[in-house]
Amino acid sequence: MKTKVLVTGANGQLAQTIKVLYSANKENVQFVFVNKNELDITNYKEVSNFFSINNYDYCINCAAYTNVEQAEEFIELVFKINAEAVKNLALLCKKHRTVLIHISTDYVFDGKEETPYLETDLTNPINQYGKSKLKGEQCISNSLKEHFIIRTSWLYSNYGKNFVKTIANKIKENSELKITIAETGTPTSCIDLSSFLYYLITTKSNKYGIYHFSNEGITTWYGFAVEIAKHFNSFDLKKIVPVEGFITKARRPKYSVMSKDKILLNFKLSPNNWKDALSRVLETF
């Protein structure tokens, strides 16, 4: 019997990556992808009816409000999608004995530490996006034992809108770039994160809880941009100018590197270095 997996947020970059990598797999996993028009997860009754008709072993929640700047203005909407909708999923996953895999963020931390954050470290989000994502985590923890909360950071892929695509396009236009050095973290390839999620499903792991998953290594947004530019031989790296920061509506953690020790301990997995993961994605650009 095939393992049935519901993936929400089908139009997002992570769901699209999962679809490309694993939809045609020959193993016993069947993915069903839904976007917000096909399933409004903020509507409890609609989600309840959907789960009653369809039986799923897993639900990967890729749906989220991710515009950090706009989140400072549209607070009610942000919490509706990132918290209330997550509670709906958690309650119905519990009712239907579905394992929930939820994607969260490094922005649940305030960035005041100087060493990689552990899953057990105190959360203290400093913007509305981070606060809404933390609330979503709490909704899951309070409702459902059978869950994985995966905190990730600086996510990118070939799909959707993300830093790598934006910088690559600017480089192709031969533009001068001003990139901040005020934030330190770790880029994460959707390919590598998708691989980890697939591992959790195919191994039927019951080591539930919160996990940090990013690629390995540390950089700034400026360092990230320079590494992207290195893959375009004709571009002059001097056109990328480091700046201290920009005036923004949302505060951002200055340091959001996360420890992956728990993944290594529980699953004997070690994520790829961020530069190697980036190279794999940029090969297709």
Taking the mean position of all CA atoms in its chain, how far away is CA 152? 5
What whole-number distance in Å separates Cα of residue 179 and Cα of residue 187? 15
- State yes or no: is 198 an active-site residue: no
- Which tokens belong to 254? 């200055």
Nearest to 222, CA basis, from 197, 248, 185, 190: 185
Q: Which of 129, 198, 222, 255 is catalytic?
A: 129
What whole-number distance in Å separates Cα of residue 74 and Cα of residue 57? 34
What whole-number distance in Å separates Cα of residue 31 and Cα of residue 8? 10
What whole-number distance in Å separates Cα of residue 201 and Cα of residue 131? 28
Residue 216 is given by DSSP the state: B
Longest dimension (CA), the chain: 57
What whole-number distance in Å separates Cα of residue 56 and Cα of residue 8? 12
Nearest to 92, CA basis, from 59, 133, 141, 135: 59
What whole-number distance in Å separates Cα of residue 57 and Cα of residue 69? 35
What whole-number distance in Å separates Cα of residue 134 and Cα of residue 143? 14
Nearest to 181, CA basis, from 153, 221, 154, 217: 221
Kind of pairing between the strands at 29-34 and 3-8: parallel
Catalytic residues: 129
